[in-house]
Structure 1
């Protein structure tokens, strides 16, 4: 199986402020080229035996497969949810210029 051209990684949190902090932290660390925040959204889920409904903000990160493990570790450490949603979806095709930009923006640098 060939490696995807890129990844989009989704997480959610319970406030716009927290979503912005997660987005900025990942981009500052070069773990994502960019992050888009959408919300609020209504989430309905089962947690500890009860069906809950809550307002959340989604954060969609654009990254590369080689940065995924570090991005996931960063999100787990920075997130205040006990079990945060972290889902990666492969990008199988896309604009070559855009994907090259994502790759360049997520490349580790000597300055870090």
Structure 2
């Protein structure tokens, strides 16, 4: 069975999330994109504590497409070091898995 992952990308705004989502869908690097409500992120960056509003983007895709999807996201993302994570999907309905596989390039 082909492994499916959910890729999580934190974006500075909905515009960036929409741009990355559209590019990923157009290139068949993801079958689905979900843009969530804003969150507040707290982190240390270059030795200083930071707080920033961010918008989460979730993309469903094949595990084998993570690298090209991450490369695309980095090209379109304004951050020097964007958060791009892949979460393995350990359980999925067969019909949803088949749809993700059909909508993404192998």
Tell me the TM-score normalized by structure 1.
0.89
2:75 alignment partner, one of 61, 74, 77: 77
2:12 alignment partner, one of 14, 22, 31: 14
Alignment of 1:59-70 (within 5 A): 59-70=57-68
SS at match of 2:64: helix
| Runs ≥4 residues deviating over 4 A | none
The count of residues paired between Structure 1 and Structure 2 equals 106
CA apart distance, 1:4 = 6.3
CA apart distance, 1:65 = 1.3
CA apart distance, 1:5 = 2.8
SS at match of 1:51: strand
